[in-house]
Structure 1
Amino acid sequence: MRQKESLAYYLEDLWSKGFKLSDEDVHFIYFGKNSTNVEEWKVMLALKETLKFQHTFDPSFFISVLEHLSSPAITSKKTAYVALEERGLDSTSKN
């Protein structure tokens, strides 16, 4: 996932890899993006982590991660992963 990739492209990529999100899921992802007003890379990271830890799209988990990543102090993927690890989501152990 590159920071310059668009959310729509990321969702299409997931679809092409066999991860089928429903229309309702996609609408909820965009709802979360709009309600938190964050950059697309943070939305994609929240979605990636949701799918990694839940093995399915869990709207409440996704919005929780997204709200956590919406902090203005999180300005890069590195700081995002550190913030998630501090919250107990160690992304290195669940690849």
Structure 2
Amino acid sequence: MKTVAEYISFLQGKGFKLREEALGFISFGQRYTGAADEVVIAAIEATLKHQLHFDGSYFVALLEQMKGHQIEDRKSAQAYARKLLN
């Protein structure tokens, strides 16, 4: 399992640059919701897939929804994100 910091480094290694504002939203969202790293990573992935760029308010809202549905693992977070698209 990767940490959020490791995942961000991975994205940057692939050429995807997150601005300071995006990093702030990620940090805030994780602290605000108390979400595990794997759920935050799934929310970052879903945000990028759904919005085609990093949208901080979408990301935080998605994390809040996941917390409200008591999603605590990556598999459940990914399934929830897929469900939103349908």
Deviation at 1:19, TM superposition (A): 0.8
Which residue in the other structure is 2:60 paired with? Answer: 63
Q: In the alignment, which residue of structure 1 is the partner of 2:37?
A: 40
Q: Which runs of 5+ in 2 are unaligned?
A: none
Q: TM-score, normalised by structure 2?
A: 0.85
Q: Distance in 1 between matches of 2:18 and 2:43?
A: 15
Alignment RMSD (CA, Å)? 1.7
> Please, which of 29, 39, 50 is the counterpart of residue 47 of structure 2?
50
1:93 corresponding residue in structure 2: none
Output the TM-score relative to the length of structure 1: 0.78
Q: For residue 70 of structure 1, give the secondary structure of its aligned residue in structure 2.
A: helix
Residue identity matched to 1:11: I
CA contact (8 A) 1:25 1:57 kept: yes
Aligned residues: 86
1:80 shift after superposition: 2.3
Q: Which has the higher contact order (CA 8 A, sep 6+)?
A: 2
Deviation at 1:28, TM superposition (A): 1.4
CA distance in 2, matches of 1:72, 1:53: 19
Of structures 1 and 2, the larger Rg is shown by: 1
CA shift for structure 1 position 78:
3.0
- C-alpha distance in structure 2 between counterparts of 1:35 and 1:76, whole Å: 17
Question: Unaligned regions of 5+ residues in structure 1, if any?
Answer: 91-95
